[in-house]
Structure 1
Amino acid sequence: MPRRMACSQRGASSGKNDGRGSDQRLVTSSTSSVGPSGGLMSPTGWDSHDGDDKINYTVDETAAGERSIGSRDDELLDITRPFPDLPAQPDEPARFTIRAVVVGTVLGAVVSASNMYLCLKTGWTFGASLFGAILGFAILKPTSNFLPKFLGGGYFGPRENVAVQSVATGAGRLSVLFEGAIPALYRLGLLSPTPKEDFWRLITFTAVCAFYGCFFGVALRKFYIIRLKGIFPTPTATAVTIRSLHAAGLAGDAMRKAKVLVSTFAASCVFKAISIYAPGVLWDWNIAWWIYKTTRWKSIIAASNRGWYIELTPAFFGVGMLTGLNVGLSYLAGAIVSWGIIGPATDHTGLTVGSPSKGTPDIISYKSLDLEDPFNKPSARYFLLWPGLMILMCATFTEVAMNGPALYKGLKLLVADNMKRLPTSQHFARAKDRADAFLLREDHEDDDPAPQHERVPRWMWASGVTLVIVCTCLVLGLQYDMNVGLSVLAVVLGFLFSCIATQSAASADIAPASYCGKASQLVFGGVTSPGHYSLHDKQLINLVGGIVATGAAAQSTDMVSDLRTGYLLGASHRAQFYGQIIGSFVAVWLSVGLFLLFTSAYPCILDASITDCSFSTPALGAWVAVAQAISLSSLPIPSVSGYLAIAFGVLAIFVVYARYKLVPARWQKFIPNLSVFGLAFMVPTTQYAIAMAAGAMVTCVWSWKFKASYGRNGYAVPAGLIAGEGIGGLIAALLEITNVGGSTYGSAVGCVGDTYCG
């Protein structure tokens, strides 16, 4: 008799999977639904199922040790092979349609705008796959029943639903390039004074980064999905969700889930747009300032100066609901340690300095990164930046290293698989055969089940890769003065990090795209260390090379993840490929346009001298810090900050190692998430940590007391809150540019220093 247990995200990503095609099956039913997934909301460039958040399916362990994953019912699905069709499911001859492209593009645009807003705020991004799948179903399923065919009517099935979410993913993900890497070019003065002057330069550069993923992803599909049988937990959850929605049709939970998502989206959007006219009352509750203004109690103002206040942000309340209690409390713990303990201690001992307000000297800012002497007189934000960055990098790369055996075997087999095509590669062929025997064991059914007409021909993706490489060399050479050797190195690193990120996503649901960019920065720092490069050239090459690696890793992982969803549902991966191409084309123009919009409405994003800013841009600080540390002759790191960084880095490595090797599985959910713990050091305010912790606690109670309701709406509510605030923030930026926003007509009531705080 199988033993059933709840499948937590940490269980899905504990690193025990070695990449082999073990017997793994998904138990589900036509009425089940998949709940929240940790990989949907993550620090930019770092997607992970970490914490105690649950997917609404269970793991079966038989007496023989075989592993099955599923919900509480009777249908058994093998998640290493395509799912069988639903009962009475008609054929879908048209799986790539105009309606799928239009709806997917619109949904991707919503996600892109939300991500641009969120990642500039705190460095978090919102996955487009489940959002696109659910809303795509909600829009096209009912309209397909009553509209004539020439207006988009006709049968809408799960495979076309995959095409919708593929377009949405392609259109919604490129904001990862603008969360810190590209703004860092302007913060360091390496490009024109304003992004508007570099519009076409940004377009061409974003384009070459965008299309890497489309072509690299297709090239990696057969290896990671079919041969290696990677699990990809989040795409698997998306496939189950799509199957469940179409099994239920327009009845019951399927449409109710969509209605809840749309309702919360609309409410969140309207609330954010209205709040800019009274931010001190509707948005920011700075209780410490209110007490100080009433009583003139000087000690209480210290809490306000350190960024301790409540923000009624639907998005980050929703983030906490999605990521779960472990991530939410880890983020809050990081804020307490950094801005509640270390920050005040460094100020008290004179290690850091603040900037008093001219009108009210008791109001002191510790957020500045525009410092005359960062080594001797750093701000608390600059001081905490280095420990936070060290924690992030050590935790992420240790996580990848703990999955090293699967990564090594996968890359070794990938090399052998390609070397076998050479006439003099018998040694590699034997190595490949041995790897096949180890990885696939007795399962040799690794042939592509897709019919020939649904596959992407080799000439198509190979010519695409070649074209992108040529265009990359031209763009980097003509616009950024990088020679051919450096351009080729950027391409090679991009492909290498694409493989690493995809392997990590396949085995552990971790895609460290942004940190692949940091590793690329280190490589280019070594290459440009000879003295004939100027400081300007070193920093420019460093950042541009890192951006190429980040874009390639992020887009490739998204493409392969989408192809995994399509593989399970029997969708045409040629249709998905076309969808990703179209989505990426739209994303290039959309992401650059959104970046120009936000930086025009909020100049403080790129200007470090403006200390009071609605966007804290923690990722920007990290990119700038790495570029400066590598390119300058001496590291501008305060001594005590450096010692703390080393200590916290060692702690991060030990904690991640202990979670994998020392801590029993049942206790792993209590191990803090060091990546978000470190992120809190880099965000100079704490309201997001408070909101996330509150959202996580609400979800904990909700899932415990009202399991059925949580199973139906556990994803829809937070997804609507997150996307809604993102679009509301976009509306607010448009209002600012047209001079009818809060800065013109808003009230400063409740704001610190009686200065408008929207």
Structure 2
Amino acid sequence: MPVERELSLRAVSTGMLLGIFLTPSNVYAGLKIGWSFNMSIIALLIGFGLWQGLTSRFKHLPDWTLHESNINQTVASAAASIISGGLVAPLPAYTLLTGNALPALPMMAWVFSVSFLGIWIAWYLRPSLINDAELKFPEGMATLETLRHIYSHGRETAVRLRVLFGAALIAAFVKWVDAFYRAFPRWAPSAQLERLTFTLDPSLLLLGFGCIIGIRVGLSLLLGAVLAWGGIAPWLIDQGMVHLPAGSTGPQFSVLIEWLLWPGVSLMVCATLSTLALRLFQQSRTHPQARRRLRFSRPEPMPLLGLFLAMVLVVGLQSMLFGIDVFMALLTIPLALCLAAVAARIVGTTGIPPIGAIGQLSQLGFGAIAPGQITINLMSANTAGGAAGQCTDLMNDFKVGKMIGATASRQALAQCLGILVGSVVGVLVYKALIPDPQAMLLTQEWPAPAVATWKAVAQTLSAGMDSLSTSVRWAILLGGLAGIVLGLLETGTPAYKWRYLPSAGALGLAFIIPASVSMMMAMGAILTWLVSVKRQGLAERFAVTTAAGLIAGESIMGVSASLWELIKNSA
């Protein structure tokens, strides 16, 4: 298969342009619900549709090759995955706990450096993991199947693009009407339910995410919302453990979340860590030779220079931006190498990047090494989590590249260009959306569950359990035990039984986001399930495409509305 046109100017430019438009969606969604969307397939569809249209109209243009499509999606997905570098988790948590907010340029440099480290870790893991037949990399294979499909069925791509853009326009219109005209008031059956955040949220973005997460996760979110906001929250008020402001009306999210986040975070962290531990144990038992295979490739001059530069950037910026001792900063490098390797192997097996677990595991490690030091706990752990996130994203791209005969070094360069775009755009969007983190985050408008998780873990490790009330300590204990049990059951249960278990991550998340968010996502999951029961083929063809359009349309309009408000207020 010829690869003359692979890292072409138009492939890179298209990927960078798509990255500029897609990155805000993940930043927006990360601050809303703590989840992000893989943009590889969307970038493939848009890039193919754009260039097929141009080449059919202008005959002198060369065909848009399969390898150019691969470079395009590599750049775009790298840009959109920049939030794993800490943009919507440890960095805001650092601001909330210390009162220090990084200016835009230093924040861009930090997010880029952490992601840059992950790219070169992936490079040296590549021969060991990509050539391992037992590691399927499901997310990469889904991208590969889409890539092959669009080159075999061009008309199908045109149909999916119309669905994508149609859904995006509808979501953007609804958000525009809601943002500028307040045409969709948050309705609740009663004042009591409204106080407990059980309101109807007209968010098509949440509906879109519900279409993607599946019926099990959707129902788990609904169960968690009923348990946390419908059961525990009113009990806390009745028992006087949470005091609402006198005469308060409307949703009381910011007051109730101060208690509810602790069992929710404990449940999620313990579930993800127990799942991670059991998966590693199962792999070591099933494949005892895996440890021998998991080795770094032979050093090469240019990638070695990239790895060295990444380490210098990460260590230097920890010292300059956060005042972390150089020796302590150096400890983040071997931890990042080890945990990124662990994350890459798990992604290769399950397709699920355990970035949350990796981050919290890093926090626990630095909590033991440097107890009571919040900055080290957050930002040194950010290095491992961010590197692991970008490493797993590139490993999926490497898998696609291997199957189509792409050049690995060109993919790595494309990934570097992607994180450069993502760092700039992601930080600018974050600054526009959240100009005042102390006042805006962990609120009904911006629940930021990932921020709440990192903040809660750092607080607990720095101040100790004694600083918390007795009721909160019991909640943490019970949430942790429930998380461990559910995490072990999820991992150790056969697939045909596993689907009947509640999702531990979704249950914990429902404690940290308003009930209105969980209900809307559950609604999307239920609607998609109902369609799949009646018309399975229709759901398989258009569910993800429709969801991506709803997510992109609302988030881009939401970012635009925030920018408009910022400009109007500064005028």
What fraction of aligned residue pairs are identical, expressed as a percent?
A: 24
Kindly report which structure 2 residues correspond to 1:711-730, keeping only aligned pairs within 5 A, or say none.
711-730=540-559
Kindly report which structure 2 residues correspond to 1:346-361, keeping only aligned pairs within 5 A, or say none.
346-356=236-246, 361=247
Structure 2 match to 1:461: 303
Structure 2 match to 1:37: none
Q: Is the 8 A contact 1:264 1:717 kept in 2?
A: yes
Larger mean CA deviation between 116-125 and 396-405 belongs to: 396-405
1:621 to 434, 452, 457: 452
Kindly report which structure 2 residues correspond to 1:407-556, keeping only aligned pairs within 5 A, or say none.
407-408=283-284, 413=290, 418=295, 458-529=300-371, 538-556=373-391
Q: Distance in 2 between matches of 1:627 and 1:563?
A: 34
Kindly report which structure 2 residues correspond to 1:719-758, keeping only aligned pairs within 5 A, or say none.
719-739=548-568
Is 1:577 the counterpart of 2:412 in the alignment?
yes
1:690 to 471, 495, 519: 519
Q: Is the 8 A contact 2:244 2:252 kept in 1?
A: yes
Partner deviation per Cα, 1:275-315 (whole Å, 9 max, x = no partner): 11233x32x43233xxxxxxxxxxx3111111011111111
Is 1:156 the counterpart of 2:64 in the alignment?
yes
Q: Is the 8 A contact 1:243 1:569 kept in 2?
A: no
Structure 2 match to 1:672: 502
Structure 2 match to 1:104: 15
Deviation at 1:521, TM superposition (A): 1.4
Aligned residue for 2:36, secondary structure, equals strand
Is 1:658 the counterpart of 2:489 in the alignment?
yes
Deviation at 1:365, TM superposition (A): 5.7
**Closer/same/farther in 2, CA of residues 104 and 650 from structure 1, 3 Å limit:** same
Aligned residue for 1:286, secondary structure, equals coil
Is 1:186 the counterpart of 2:98 in the alignment?
no
**Cα RMSD for the two superposed structures:** 2.4
1:306 to 196, 206, 211: 196
Partner deviation per Cα, 1:381-422 (whole Å, 9 max, x = no partner): 12111110111011112222221146548897456765998x
Task: Report the AA paired with residue 529 of structure 2.
Answer: C
Q: Distance in 2 between matches of 1:518 and 1:140?
A: 43
Partner deviation per Cα, 1:571-613 (whole Å, 9 max, x = no partner): 222221121011111112111111211122xx3x4327x8865
Task: Report the AA paired with residue 188 of structure 2.
Answer: I
Q: Is the 8 A contact 1:407 1:503 kept in 2?
A: no
| TM-score, length of structure 1 as denominator length | 0.72
| TM-score, length of structure 2 as denominator length | 0.94
Partner deviation per Cα, 1:87-117 (whole Å, 9 max, x = no partner): xxx7341111111111111222222101111
Structure 2 match to 1:173: 81
Partner deviation per Cα, 1:470-516 (whole Å, 9 max, x = no partner): 22222112222222211111111111110111111011222111321
Higher relative helix content:
2
Aligned residue for 1:188, secondary structure, equals helix
1:286 to 174, 187, 199: 187
Structure 1 match to 2:28: 117
Q: Distance in 2 between matches of 1:496 and 1:111?
A: 30
Give 1 or 2 for the bigger CA radius of gyration.
1
Partner deviation per Cα, 1:406-464 (whole Å, 9 max, x = no partner): 6548897456765998xxxxxxxxxxxxxxxxxxxxxxxxxxxxxxxxxxx82221111
Q: Is the 8 A contact 1:223 1:414 kept in 2?
A: no
Structure 1 match to 2:423: 588
Structure 1 match to 2:257: 381
Larger mean CA deviation between 212-221 and 304-313 belongs to: 212-221
Q: Is the 8 A contact 1:145 1:154 kept in 2?
A: no
**Closer/same/farther in 2, CA of residues 316 and 417 from structure 1, 3 Å limit:** closer
Task: Report the AA paired with residue 669 of structure 1.
Answer: R
Partner deviation per Cα, 1:322-365 (whole Å, 9 max, x = no partner): 11111111111111100000111111111211123xxxx15166
Structure 2 match to 1:265: 168
Kindly report which structure 2 residues correspond to 1:231-242, keeping only aligned pairs within 5 A, or say none.
231-242=136-147
Matched pairs, number: 569
**Closer/same/farther in 2, CA of residues 612 and 507 from structure 1, 3 Å limit:** closer
Structure 2 match to 1:606: 438
1:396 to 265, 272, 281: 272
Q: Is the 8 A contact 1:525 1:542 kept in 2?
A: yes
Deviation at 1:254, TM superposition (A): 1.9
Partner deviation per Cα, 1:499-558 (whole Å, 9 max, x = no partner): 1111110112221113211111111122223xxxxx6xx111111112111110100010
Q: Is the 8 A contact 1:407 1:500 kept in 2?
A: no
Q: Which consecutive unaligned segments of at least 5 residues does structure 2 have?
A: none
Partner deviation per Cα, 1:192-217 (whole Å, 9 max, x = no partner): 5xx4xx22321221221120122111
Structure 1 match to 2:230: 340
Q: Which consecutive unaligned segments of at least 5 residues does structure 1 have?
A: 1-89, 289-299, 369-378, 422-456, 530-534, 745-758
